[in-house]
Amino acid sequence: MKTIIINVTVVTMNEQRKIHEPGFVMFENDIITAVGDMKDLPEEAGHLDTKTVDGKNGILMPGMVNLHTHMGMIPFRGLGDDCKDRLRVFLLPMERKAMDEELVYFSTRYGAGEMLLGGVTTALDMYYFEEEAAKAMDEMGMRGIAGQTVMEEGACDFEDPYEALAHGEELIKKYQSHPRISACIAPHGTNTCSKELLLEAYRIDSSLKVPFTLHTAEMDYEMDYFRKEYNMSPAQYLDSIRVLGKETLAAHCIHMTEKDLLLFKEKGAKVAHCIGSNTKAAKGVAPVSAMLRLGIPVGLGTDGPASGNTLDIFTQMKLCANFHKNVTRDRSAFPAETIVAMATAEGAKAMGLYHLTGSLEPGKQADLVLVETRSVNMFPVYNPYSALVYSANPSNVEEVYVAGECVVKDKRLVKADMAEIRNELSQKMKKTEFGIYMKNC
């Protein structure tokens, strides 16, 4: 089936950052076949075997990439937001009490729906019971990597971290031939996994050519631990045990030194920048200016909905621009084009998926987002990059395609009903220890 979207400003995010205004994108089944100006519209437009979609002067962009999230944490959104030690007071105890396969499945369906409605077509999820997360992402029609979390002390799904490792390896192999879903082993963090656990996770991920992702240089106590125990930073420790490489995707990286960044550059490591959750938790602002100057791939992540309260990348783009301009005291720093790239092409590169997604080019997967410009907040549009970063929000996402399949149309999910998903999750929450706990709060 051929589809052509016409009368749009096409923000390609290719290496030349080409914009077609007005332009079109044509795809057949799941592959983009042509991108260009309206004056060069192919003869197929208007043929009976080609579906034509009028974009009505909207902005057509690549599907956005959420480089670091925990979709299973939807039930914890808004819980203890202003609590100083929220992680240990609320989140960890509740995961132990309430989290199970079914709750992860329903929560991931909800999270996937929220992301698709906000124009996020690809996500790297990192949580527990990730077989259920992979299943949910697949059913919702999104593109994603299911990262099975492993922790030294065990977790709600596997008390033995080596059982979690084995399960993660099985999950990777199970999805190796899937067109949209893959998996990886995701150690929780630099200081919550032993050297042996990190080495084995890295060995499996790198041998199977999937990302090796973990929380890095995020917490003050993490920094103190490595300084006291090893006289190193977390990044230097990862390098010392040889798990810092081109497969490494480090989340947060707030407290990175120049030496750390040079190590990342040398080893080819990547960064998931979670500006929303980092600043909400008062942890600081990562040195992304220096990362970009060194050529380190940096994409955007929302973190979990319990940390940043949202799974949309529009929010992260705006926060990224505002915070980094403020930190650098330079209004011209972090131009909108750079930030849109972090939300699309650079995120796809960091995830190892740029050959498939992240830009609108012939031969790539048809992962597209149509952002309408008819709403009051989208007029006028002088620069499409600026409109996407500073004006747009998820309510402006009109249509979304993943691998050529329309998964959002007229601002509603196509493959599922969000109200039903919400009701299923709500009912599950009431039946678990989570519901009992909340009644007693």
The pLDDT tens digits for 261-305 are: 999 999 999 999 999 999 999 999 999 999 999 999 999 999 999
Residue ranges of the alpha helices (H) in 301-372?
A: 313-328, 336-343, 345-350
Rounded Cα gap, residues 383 and 329, in angstroms: 23
CA dist 67 to 122, 172, 211, 304, Å?
A: 8, 18, 11, 11
Is residue 237 within 8 Å of 190, Cβ to Cβ?
yes
pLDDT of residue 23: 98
In this prediction, residue 432 has a pLDDT band, given cuts at 50, 70 and 90, of: confident
Percent of the chain topping pLDDT 90:
88
Q: What is the pLDDT of residue 430?
A: 87
Q: Which of 227-236, 323-332, 345-354 has the lowest mean pLDDT?
A: 323-332
Mean pLDDT of 328-347: 96
* Amino acid sitting at position 321: A
In this predicted structure, what is the pLDDT of residue 85?
67
Q: Phi first, then psi: what are they for 193, rounded to 5°? A: -135, 140
Distances (CA, A) of 433 to 110, 265, 410: 20, 45, 38
Burial of 180 (0-12, 13-18, 19+ CB in 10 A): buried
Mean pLDDT of 304-326: 95
Cα dihedral 419/421/426/431 (nearest 10):
140
254 CB contacts (<8 Å, ≥6 apart)? 217, 218, 278, 283, 284, 285, 286
Q: 96 falls in which pLDDT band (50, 70, 90)?
A: confident
pTM score of the predicted model: 0.95
Token pair belonging to 161:
């971290």
pLDDT score of 441 more than 50? no
CA 384 – CA 123 distance, rounded (Å) = 24
Q: Is the pLDDT of residue 437 over 70?
A: no
Contact in structure between 331 and 412 (CB atoms under 8 Å): no
SS (H, E, C) 61-101: EECEEEEEECHHHHHHCCCCCCCCCHHHHHHHHHHHHHCCH
Q: Region 98-119: what's the mean pLDDT?
A: 96
Predicted confidence at residue 438, as pLDDT, reads 55
